Amino acid sequence: MYSLIRKLLFQLDAEDAHELAVRQMIALQQIPIVLRAIERFCAPPPSARRELMGLTFPSPIGIAAGFDKNGLLMPMLAALGFGFVEVGTVTLRPQPGNPRPRLFRYPEHHALINRLGFNNDGADAVAERLKSWIPTVPLFVNIGKNRDVAFDAAADDYGACAMKLAPYADLVVVNLSSPNTPSLRELQRPEHLERILAAVGPAIVKIAPDIDDVMLGEICDVCAKRARGMICTNTTIARPFASNETGGLSGAPLMQPSTAILAKVRQRVGSNYPLIGVGGIFTADDVRAKFAAGADLVQAYTGFIYEGPLMAKRLMR
């Protein structure tokens, strides 16, 4: 069924298709019997439950940041069997992001390239939506800085954004790894990272896959002291196949490099530190590979676009 819907959706511009899917999901989740039926159909088995960071996850497979940037789809994503939902990236003030087109599919590579640039409704609007949801799974909110905020003012901007959103989420994720906001990834450097974590308070740090071993080690050491966990990884600026589009590459080509980073991070931070693996998950074998590399939980985004709404249920089975 989804292969037919996907054929139709893939005829549209990638971002138009996403917006259409979002509108349909919002419409469906407003009908309580439909939402409950989906929830029953996709419910993870009790054996999938995980305890981490003081939270109970009905399943270790979550939906990664960027799919629901504005906090509009939490009920549907939880009903579809995702064990946790990460909303965002949200910035302090609303912003339009980069000019379109800015999202591109590469079906032959099971990949996407995006340079959306943190298009979102801003912290006040998203906070209102988070506040009104009665959570059924742990809720993460991912924060970033507005494009026009100067590098030196970044820590205060992250702090102000966290203050608005943290009260309505189980965990805050600090995104220092999007390739689509100029110099954002420079903020991963240890001295900046320390300042940002001091401003934000207890948070998870999401890192890029394009980091050399020395810097990765330093980032891990700061996180181990000051952050509640790490998410490995965001999209990559590497281009394993020819493409002229700038932006972050996600999907199958990211599986190996993001899992390699995850394994290095696990080795550095030791066995008891919370780690979330993301990048290139399509199949249950991919999930097993992330666990084998040291993930406590995993997330997917691009696989969900290619595999469809029953992805979480299928992976769980």
Ligand X SMILES: Cc1cc2nc3c(=O)[nH]c(=O)nc-3n(C[C@H](O)[C@H](O)[C@H](O)COP(=O)(O)O)c2cc1C
Mind telling me the catalytic residues? 178
Q: Is 224 left (phi over 0), alpha (psi -120 to 50) or beta?
A: alpha
According to CB under 6 A, which one of 103, 187, 216, 312 is a site residue for ligand X? 103
Q: Give kind and range of the element (H or E) at residue 231.
A: strand 229-232
Does the footprint of ligand X cover residue 203 (CB under 6 A)?
A: no
Cβ closest to ligand X, residue 273 vs residue 301: 301
According to CB under 6 A, which one of 105, 164, 206, 266 is a site residue for ligand X? 206
Cβ closest to ligand X, residue 57 vs residue 118: 118
Cβ closest to ligand X, residue 70 vs residue 194: 70
CB-CB contact of 80 with 42 (8 Å): yes
Q: Per-residue contact track with ligand X, 29 to 48, x per CB under 6 A? A: --------------------
Please state, as a whole number, how many other Cβ atoms lie within 10 Å of the Cβ of residue 186.
Answer: 11
Binding residues among 233-272 for ligand X as defined by CB under 6 A: 234-235, 250-251, 254
According to CB under 6 A, which one of 62, 279, 294, 309 is a site residue for ligand X? 279
According to CB under 6 A, which one of 57, 69, 141, 259 is a site residue for ligand X? 69
User: Minimum Å distance from CB 37 to ligand X?
Assistant: 27
CB-CB contact of 185 with 248 (8 Å): no
**Hey, which bits of 246-315 come out as E strands?**
248-251, 275-278, 297-300
Does the footprint of ligand X cover residue 208 (CB under 6 A)?
A: no
Question: Is 78 exposed, middle or buried, given 0-12, 13-18 or 19+ CB atoms closer than 10 A?
Answer: buried
Residue, CB closest to ligand X: 66
User: Minimum Å distance from CB 145 to ligand X?
Assistant: 12
Please state, as a whole number, how many other Cβ atoms lie within 10 Å of the Cβ of residue 95.
Answer: 18
Does the footprint of ligand X cover residue 302 (CB under 6 A)?
A: yes
Q: Is 97 left (phi over 0), alpha (psi -120 to 50) or beta?
A: left
List the structure tokens of 121. Answer: 């409704």
Give the closest residue to 88 by CA, choosing from 109, 71, 112, 107: 71
Binding site for ligand X (CB under 6 A): 64-66, 69, 88-89, 103, 112, 114, 116, 142, 175, 178, 206, 234-235, 250-251, 254, 278-281, 300-303
